Amino acid sequence: MKYYHELYDKIEELPPIIQDFIKKLSKKIDKVLHFLKDKKIPKTNNLVELLFKITFPGKIKRIYRTYAGAITQIKLDDLKWIERNVIPKAGEK
């Protein structure tokens, strides 16, 4: 909060885009930082990340965001494996 207030005091010296961001953040700063005080609030709402206790990069995060997305990706990975390993061997015979 100390750093936020220091920035807010110097808001006129900052670029306009940062000024807008800080003004919008000022309305919800307490809610935004609430997870720092309450350890029961998870840092992520992605169930897969909570299960593995890691944060995935953005590309993977979008794939596994929902249960249906995870199932779809698993099926696609199985199909890709079949294309790579089974179909070429069947064509050799």
Residues 50 and 90 in one domain: yes
User: Rounded to the nearest 10 degrees, what angle do helices 16-26 and 2-9 cross at?
Assistant: 130
Residues 35 and 47 in one domain: no
Confidence of residue 45 (pLDDT cuts 50, 70, 90): low
Least confident of 24-28, 36-40, 72-76: 36-40
Separation of alpha carbons 5 and 1, rounded Å: 6
Which of the pair, 84 or 60, is modelled with greater confidence? 84
Confidence of residue 39 (pLDDT cuts 50, 70, 90): confident
Number of structural domains (the chain) is 2
User: Which region, left, alpha or beta, applies to residue 41 given φ > 0 means left and ψ of -120 to 50 means alpha?
Assistant: beta
Q: Are 50 and 44 in contact (CB under 8 A)?
A: yes
Residues 66 and 34 in one domain: no
What is the pTM for the complete model shown? Answer: 0.39
Give the structural domain span for 20.
1-39
